[in-house]
Amino acid sequence: MPTVIQERIQEWLTPVFDKQTQDTIQTMISENPKEAEDAFYKDLEFGTGGMRGIMGAGTNRINKYTLGKSTQGLSEYLIKSFPEEQISAVIAYDCRHNSDTLAQTVAEVFAANGIKVFLFSSLRTTPELSFAVKQLNCHCGIVLTASHNPPEYNGYKVYWQDGGQLVPPHDAAVVEVINATKYSEIKFNADESLIELIDDKVDIPFIEASVKNGSGIASQEAKDDLKIVFTSLHGTSIKSVPPVLEKAGFKDVHIVEEQAEPNGDFPTVKSPNPEETEALEMATALANKIGADILIGTDPDCDRLGIAVRDNNNEMKLLNGNQTMAVMLDFLLSQIQQDSGFKGNEFIASTIVSSPMLRVLANSYKVEYKEVLTGFKWIAKLVKDFPELNFVGGGEESYGFMVGDFVRDKDAVTSTLLACEIAAYAKSKESSFFTMLEDLYKEHGYFKEKLISLVKKGISGAEEIKQMMIDMRENPIKEFGGAEVVYIEDYQSGKATNVKDRTVTTMDLPNSNVLIYYTEDGTKIAARPSGTEPKIKFYISVQSEVENNDLLATEVKLDAKIAGLLKELDVK
């Protein structure tokens, strides 16, 4: 075992750490040294979505000490950043094991540092936490969640005054303070008078704001004619989505009861990930039984949603994040165009790994399109950086969407309502959500995407991912699918290369470990190691004009093209 790991383990066997933690580590060393090595070989790092990892003892685990250290460092940064102010923070947590106790620990460390804490008394959604930061005029917010990760995971996301996640310059500055903080410096002895439990103080205004931003187009008659199936996948959305739909006037809502009870084991699914068809099997069965028009499932902290709608064969079809996002943005833009007309300051936003179709869509409405790095915090940052502009909506391919700017993170509560509003409105016009998507393809071209995630666990996995990115940079791929690569964007170096004329330009985005290839036929392939999971992701996008309005033939052609690209990349 490397010396640095041994030193970290010895530190955790000192009286700074409680006896239960020490006993757990001793057992790990004797019974499973490989697990001990993995638990201590590195410190958990802040990625695109904060800090996320397996729960347990160790520097590479989520526990009271790693979260305590982060909160202690954050407290010191807040005190330094806001002198002479009574600093306040709001904390929410999801359904995962230990989320409530970890949230209490975070609250106690804040309070021990003299920071006023608003702590939700039971689980709440991530978008409500983002909303609460501004609603309560707090300096920061914390949500304890690990999104759709397996049951053994938990996580910690930090939000700033604007309700968005940490971005420059605060993110690096906070991490610097956290890294300099010693475990022995964590203050756990809270001033309990500084901790206030909250409930409907935020619930009611959040529901009202969601209804205001996500509805208002479909008539009540149209809403009455829409049959909805909803599943919370054992997560927090059961607290917000049903009351929001009810307040907005949707009455025919059928909840998957087997998945309605919050449960960190997620007993009815392999993964509580609404991106996956398997996670929505129960909801699909119910939708088919009752003849539902739309099915929606959300992940455990309710910041992402999966939508299935009736296709041309009357079968429930799960749309991907790019498809859902395109329909939602087109609907929002079309309503502005019809109602008041564009004022010239509107913009929509997405990420560098999302579908190129979104830029085409923006151009068709003559509104600005802004593209940012992966991670919804960058979209929220746009709202703050461009106050003179009107943010209509935006999202990312990983099933996250934000309607307007009253929440500064992806929001499956309001997005669920918007999806139902669109479906109801379309049905009242003898159309459908699916038909609206097909109409976009016919107008702008058929864009099809595929995401492949390769899991590479542990120390060796991290090294393998690192080497894959090095190889792709040092030996750039020259063609994909018989089409020549004409443009390469390397976000780590911040340089974009025109392969044809060998010119190099500087990109105006923060550095990130992402590499994107573009070919002469419009194919786009991005490679990106995950910031929160032991994965490397490949995002593939292909496109084609739709000839003779034959969408099926076009899709078959694009599917074959994607299959060929996967074979070339040697990934499955």
Are the beta carbons of 481 and 523 closer than 8 angstroms?
Answer: yes
Fold of the domain built from segment(s) 206-444: Alpha-D-Glucose-1,6-Bisphosphate; Chain A, domain 3 (3.40.120)
Q: What is the pLDDT of residue 287?
A: 98
Task: Give the HSE-up count for residue 208: Cα atoms under 13 Å, Cβ half-sphere.
Answer: 7
For the chain, the first-to-last Cα distance in angstroms comes to 34
The verdict on whether 512 is a catalytic residue reads no
CA–CA gap between residue 178 and residue 145 (Å, rounded): 20
Q: What is the largest CA-CA distance in the chain?
A: 74
Residues, the chain: 572
- CATH class, domain 447-569, is alpha beta
* Per-residue pLDDT tens digits of the chain, which is 572 residues long: 788 899 999 999 999 999 999 999 999 999 999 999 999 999 988 765 679 999 999 999 999 999 999 999 999 999 999 999 999 999 999 999 999 999 999 999 999 999 999 999 999 999 999 999 999 999 999 999 998 889 999 999 999 999 999 998 999 999 999 999 999 999 999 999 999 999 889 999 999 999 999 998 999 999 999 999 999 999 999 999 999 999 999 999 999 999 999 999 999 999 999 999 999 999 999 999 999 999 999 999 999 999 999 999 999 999 999 999 999 999 999 999 999 899 999 999 999 999 999 999 999 999 999 999 998 999 999 999 999 999 999 999 999 999 999 999 999 999 999 999 999 999 999 999 999 999 999 999 999 999 988 888 777 788 888 888 999 999 888 998 899 999 999 999 999 999 988 999 999 999 999 999 999 999 999 999 976 667 899 999 999 999 899 999 999 999 999 999 988 887 65
CA–CA gap between residue 320 and residue 309 (Å, rounded): 11
Domains 43-198 and 206-444 share a fold: yes
CA–CA gap between residue 136 and residue 155 (Å, rounded): 23
The single residue listed with the structure tokens 């299935």 is 308
Residue type, 141: G
Q: What is the pLDDT of residue 256?
A: 98
Q: What is the pLDDT of residue 47?
A: 66
Q: What is the pLDDT of residue 571?
A: 65
Are the beta carbons of 515 and 473 closer than 8 angstroms?
Answer: yes
Strand pairing class (535-544; 524-529): antiparallel
Residue type, 253: V
The residues that bridge with 506 in the sheet, in sequence order, are 495
Interior/surface letters 182-217, b for 16+ CB within 10 angstroms, e for the rest? ebeebbeebbeebbeebeeebbeebbebbbebbbeb
Give the 3-state secondary structure of residue 362. Answer: helix
CA–CA gap between residue 86 and residue 71 (Å, rounded): 17
257's torsion region: left (phi>0), alpha (psi -120 to 50) or beta?
A: alpha
Estimate to the nearest angstrom the gap between the alpha carbon of 240 and the chain centroid.
Answer: 18
Q: What is the pLDDT of residue 224?
A: 98
Of 147, 355, 398, 432, catalytic: 147
Q: What is the pLDDT of residue 48?
A: 58
Tokens representing 544 are 């084609």
Q: What is the pLDDT of residue 1?
A: 74
Q: Architecture of 43-198 per CATH?
A: 3-Layer(aba) Sandwich (3.40)
Strand pairing class (390-396; 446-455): unpaired
- Radius of gyration for the alpha carbons in the chain, expressed in angstroms and rounded: 24
**CA-closest candidate to residue 273, choices 395, 168, 149, 367:** 149
Q: What are the extents of the domains in the chain?
A: 1-41, 43-198, 206-444, 447-569
Q: Where are the alpha helices (DSSP H) in 409-480?
A: 412-428, 433-444, 458-474
Estimate to the nearest angstrom the gap between the alpha carbon of 417 and the chain centroid.
Answer: 18
The single residue listed with the structure tokens 């309005």 is 549
Tokens representing 460 are 């060796």
CA–CA gap between residue 217 and residue 213 (Å, rounded): 11
pTM listed for this prediction: 0.94
> DSSP states of 298-314 as a string?
E-TTSSBEEEEEE-TTS
